[in-house]
Amino acid sequence: MVSESNWITTPLKKAVNSIIDYRGKTPKKLGMEWENGDILALSANNVKMGKIDSDSEANYGSETLYKKWMKEELEKGDVLMTMEAPLGNVTQVPDNQRYILSQRVVAFKTINEIDNDYFKYYLMSSRFQNLLYRFSSGTTAKGISQKNLKPLSIAYPPKAEQQKIAAILSSVDEAIEKTEQIIDQTEQVKKGLMQQLLTKGIGHKEFKETSIGDIPENWKIIKFGDVFEISSGLSFSRSQLGNSGYFYLHYGDIHKTYKHFIDIEKDNSWIPRIDIDKDKVKEGSLLREGDLVISDASEDTEGIGKSVVVKNIGLNVFISGLHTIVARDLNNVFLKEFNGYLLLNSIVRKQIRRIATGATVYGISKANLKEIYLPVPPKEEQRIISNLLVSVDEKIEKELVKKKKLNFIKQGLMQQLLTGKVRVPINDDEEVIET
């Protein structure tokens, strides 16, 4: 059996041998430039929670810059944490490569009594993160000074138990990572399928030139405004929404969701509501089964024109909201399942980007939207295409649900194991006990 009496609580400054902090350094202060080196600079841009994001924009330094900058070098396993903007992202140095410790990031070298992996998970825990934010400063961009960081409490059991705890949490992280890889791979498959199916169709050998590009011979093109009746959403800010009243589709929720269909039967738990007299809602803002709802505003051109199709509304009142355009196919030119992917067609996306206006925030108007051209496959081909894409989306959704469950399990384990509420056995003949 194990007891809880052998846990130690200490200030962070006593849990580490050193805090490596080069936040004030820049190449310019060293009389140099970033140049075209191959040594990655770790900053708050690429230090994410649990990983270093190699796809993020980053600087690289030369050998000479590295030697001038890194007076104390990083080693595999050293724990990294962002100190501001964003505050509290935690990961580890993943390998024996050399790294430059750059803007808004510090590194910790732990004392011998503390396992690096355990220390990483402890800094990730809600217990420590809450402390971090409590002693931070700033309004929009939170940050913490070394002075406020060093007294924060770190609790740890004997090292063998730390290693067992870290191994348990690492196994969940591995499962999450494998799930993320499946999601990424499936997303790539979907991207390729959409490019093929939405522009070239299925099994076509004959194509024709049109004003928007080559399309299969038996496809048509038609103006958006000749297919869809268009109206605006009802404008209410996020602060006016709540948990009671009628369902309300805010443009922010269109941007946030990975789905192309909003199903009231399945999605009602997260769709916001608004408490308003129905008589005050204009007819065009009241959604009907199969309506296409388009976001008319975005911070980038990739997000402009993002859309969803609403389904299974039943007797519910569903209102299209702020910065949305409602498009209703009155003559059923497109199947509603196909409409979920209609604006993802690269031919259509190109036109949407062209009509978008703005500098920092991009927008599209109803008048301009009406003028874009849509490729129209025969109904049977629409059905086959949408069925194929829906099946891929179902696979992605299944993996996303799995990932969510794994993250929930991980958070529960962290809450139990990193506080000593549940003690793990070190030897095979020990029992797991709750304290």
Helix (H) or strand (E) holding 109: strand 105-110
- 243, 359: one domain: yes
- 399, 334: one domain: no
CA atoms within 13 A on the CB side of 274: 23
- 192, 279: one domain: no
Report yes or no on 434 lying in a domain. no
Report yes or no on 431 lying in a domain. no
Residue 430 has pLDDT above 70, yes or no: no
pLDDT band (50, 70, 90) for residue 3: very low
Report yes or no on 190 lying in a domain. yes
- Provide the CATH number for the domain around residue 109: 3.90.220.20
pLDDT single digits (tens) 172-202? 999 999 999 999 999 999 999 999 999 999 9
Structural domains in the chain (count): 3
306 φ, ψ to 5°?
A: -60, 140
132 φ, ψ to 5°?
A: -55, -45
- 125, 61: one domain: yes
Residues 6+ apart with CB under 8 A from 342: 292, 307, 334, 348, 374
Residue 433 has pLDDT above 70, yes or no: no
Q: Do 228 and 361 touch, CB atoms closer than 8 A?
A: no
The whole-angstrom separation of Cα 165 and Cα 386 is 46
Q: Do 46 and 58 touch, CB atoms closer than 8 A?
A: yes
pLDDT single digits (tens) 205-248? 999 999 999 999 999 999 999 999 999 999 988 888 989 999 99
- 138, 183: one domain: no
28 φ, ψ to 5°?
A: -65, -40
Report yes or no on 402 lying in a domain. yes
If one counts every other C-beta atom within 10 angstroms of the C-beta of residue 232, the result is 16
Mean pLDDT of 92-98: 96
- 26, 103: one domain: yes
**How would you classify residue 131: left for phi > 0, otherwise alpha for psi between -120 and 50, otherwise beta?**
alpha
Range of the domain at 99: 8-156
Report yes or no on 53 lying in a domain. yes
Per-residue DSSP letter, 104: T
16 φ, ψ to 5°?
A: -125, 150
- 105, 77: one domain: yes
Report yes or no on 210 lying in a domain. no
- 124, 253: one domain: no
Residue 63 has pLDDT above 50, yes or no: yes
- 170, 232: one domain: no
Residue 417 has pLDDT above 80, yes or no: yes
Mean pLDDT of 16-38: 91
3-state SS of 246-295 is EEEECHHHHHHCCCCEEEHHHHCCCCCEECCCHHHCCHHHECCCCCEEEE
- Provide the CATH number for the domain around residue 165: 1.10.287.1120
The whole-angstrom separation of Cα 398 and Cα 265 is 17
- 194, 230: one domain: no
**Residue 239: Cβ-neighbour burial (10 angstroms; 0-12, 13-18, 19+):** exposed
pLDDT above 70 as % of the chain = 97
Residue 140 has pLDDT above 90, yes or no: no
Asked which of 120, 136, 156 is the last residue of a domain, the reply is 156
pLDDT band (50, 70, 90) for residue 432: very low
